[in-house]
Structure 1
Amino acid sequence: MLVITPAGMASVLRQLQALSLPPGKLKQIHRALARKVASNTRKHARQQRTPDGGGWKPRAAPNPLYDDGKNRGRMMRRITRAAHMDAVGNAGEGKVYWANGWLGSVAKRQQEGARINLASERSRKGRKRAGADGWGNDRATRVQAMRLVSLGFQRRARGKGRQQASAAWIRKNLTINQAGLIIRILQPDAGKRKNSSVLPARPFLGVSPQENAELRQLLTELIIRYGD
């Protein structure tokens, strides 16, 4: 769980409880504050910056064996979408959360940084790549095709002996299982990879001093609106 309390807001929120407003109005106030925090969070993701304005640590350089770098867009652009990240409130608090538990765990790791178990990640991705039937009979993946091309995999060519196989040919003619087996044959030490990696923290959920002042102003307006 990610818990963010804007600086200086804790005492103000305690004073808010002391106003003895009806639970329904307190819920509306907390929800409005949470929505403002969510809006700021999406802005941080668009700008690829921390709440205090600092830049995020860049991605690791793509490994040409697995990644051609073509699908590397802005980081966290998906998990901060309104469709995934929501803001709610009740009489006691407001919160920004992810209904999808896996996306929530990704958000937490990005926010705080983490040591990733690569063996577990590979296992999860391997299950995902098993295909619709779960047995690996779907066509080879793009990553597998890139690996085979980089390893110099050749195919038979009519009247020409053998020739370098293209990624398109591999994906069309080999299954996931076949491609995986050929990779292990061509590169026996493929499984001898490191089993952990450090993901740097890239904070995006939080409040800058300016945003904190805006929240306090918003809270003042909400108290006036709902205190009548």
Structure 2
Amino acid sequence: MSAIKFDVFGQLDVRKRLKLLTLPPAKRKRVMTQIGKRLHAETRRRLRTNKDVTGVPFAPRKEKRKGRMFRKLGNAAYYKSTDAYTEISFKGLAGVIAKEHQEGQRVVYTAAQAEKDYGTPDYDEPATRKQAKSLRDAGFKIKRGKKWQAPSLMWITKNLKLGQAGLILKALRDEVSKKRWIIELPERAFLGASPNDINQLVNIIFNETINAEA
């Protein structure tokens, strides 16, 4: 993704803007560098804690998976500062992922893309534990004597193949094979800062750097 530039000057109140503009370029860059360093740290903290710029928890995943999202995404974030701006950006593929979640996105995914990304599955392999759990949740039962009972996860993985489990699951869910899917990625805005946050940050940095030299 292209670098995200924080318009620090535009978000400052007039007095702070004038004070910053009166600084020599070297000192102004020092302030911008400190802002970039702290915004970078804050961005990584939000990703680590899964909260947006307002402190609200991210929209959860649709699938039930344990653990926090974006555990490694923050490692790809870096910052760059000049005497005029500070920017936070992400490297390589991480930039694509960051952009999708920062802005939210509606993605059309096709069967051909899935095959290209993950390859063609071996349908003669044993059913997976994930399939076994899905079958149980969908109400799959087997006949034991005169009774129909839900089998154990171990029974399913030992007695059903990957392809068989998939077909049974589709039948139980009354699903039709899809050639394309629409994936809705909710907005999870972790990049940015409010004008109030920027003004407070500049106050702190002025006190720690510029005013301390006076």
Return the offset for 1:139.
Answer: 4.2
Establish whether residue 183 from structure 1 lines up as the match of residue 185 from structure 2.
no
Taking a change above 3 Å as real, the CA distance of residues 162 and 41 of structure 1, as seen in their structure-2 partners, is same
Cα-to-partner distance string for 1:15-60 (whole Å, 9 max, x where unaligned):
78x9454xxx95x87654333112112333455543244x356437
Residue in 2 that maps onto 1:98:
90
Return the offset for 1:129.
Answer: 8.6
Residue in 2 that maps onto 1:86:
77
Cα-to-partner distance string for 1:77-114 (whole Å, 9 max, x where unaligned):
51544xx333243657654333350x332322221111
Distance 2:117 2:142 in 1: 25
Return the offset for 1:6.
Answer: 4.3
- Contact 1:31 1:95 survives alignment (8 Å): no
- After the TM superposition, which of the residue ranges 30-39 and 115-124 deviates more from structure 2? 115-124
- Contact 1:4 1:206 survives alignment (8 Å): no
Distance 1:121 1:78 in 2: 29
Distance 1:51 1:206 in 2: 7
Taking a change above 3 Å as real, the CA distance of residues 39 and 78 of structure 1, as seen in their structure-2 partners, is same
Q: How does 1:24-63 map to 2 (within 5 A)?
A: 32-45=34-47, 48-53=50-55, 55-56=56-57, 58-59=59-60
Taking a change above 3 Å as real, the CA distance of residues 77 and 192 of structure 1, as seen in their structure-2 partners, is closer
After superposition, the CA RMSD in angstroms is 4.6
- Contact 2:4 2:89 survives alignment (8 Å): no
Return the offset for 1:205.
Answer: 0.8
Distance 1:224 1:143 in 2: 58
Which one-letter code corresponds to 1:117 in the other structure?
A: V
Structure 1 residue ranges without an equivalent (≥5): none
Q: How does 1:89-168 map to 2 (within 5 A)?
A: 89=80, 94-101=86-93, 103-119=94-110, 123=114, 127=118, 130=121, 135=122, 138-155=125-142, 163-168=149-154
Establish whether residue 3 from structure 1 lines up as the match of residue 4 from structure 2.
yes
- Contact 1:35 1:88 survives alignment (8 Å): yes
Cα-to-partner distance string for 1:190-226 (whole Å, 9 max, x where unaligned):
435983243332211111344312442466479759x
Structure 2 residue ranges without an equivalent (≥5): none
Which one-letter code corresponds to 2:71 in the other structure?
A: R
Distance 1:219 1:199 in 2: 36
TM-score, normalised with respect to structure 1: 0.60
Taking a change above 3 Å as real, the CA distance of residues 154 and 47 of structure 1, as seen in their structure-2 partners, is closer
Q: Which SS does the other structure have where 2:46 is aligned?
A: helix
Corresponding residue to 2:186 among 200, 205, 221:
200
- Contact 1:6 1:206 survives alignment (8 Å): no
Distance 1:19 1:45 in 2: 35
Taking a change above 3 Å as real, the CA distance of residues 201 and 185 of structure 1, as seen in their structure-2 partners, is closer
Larger radius of gyration: 2
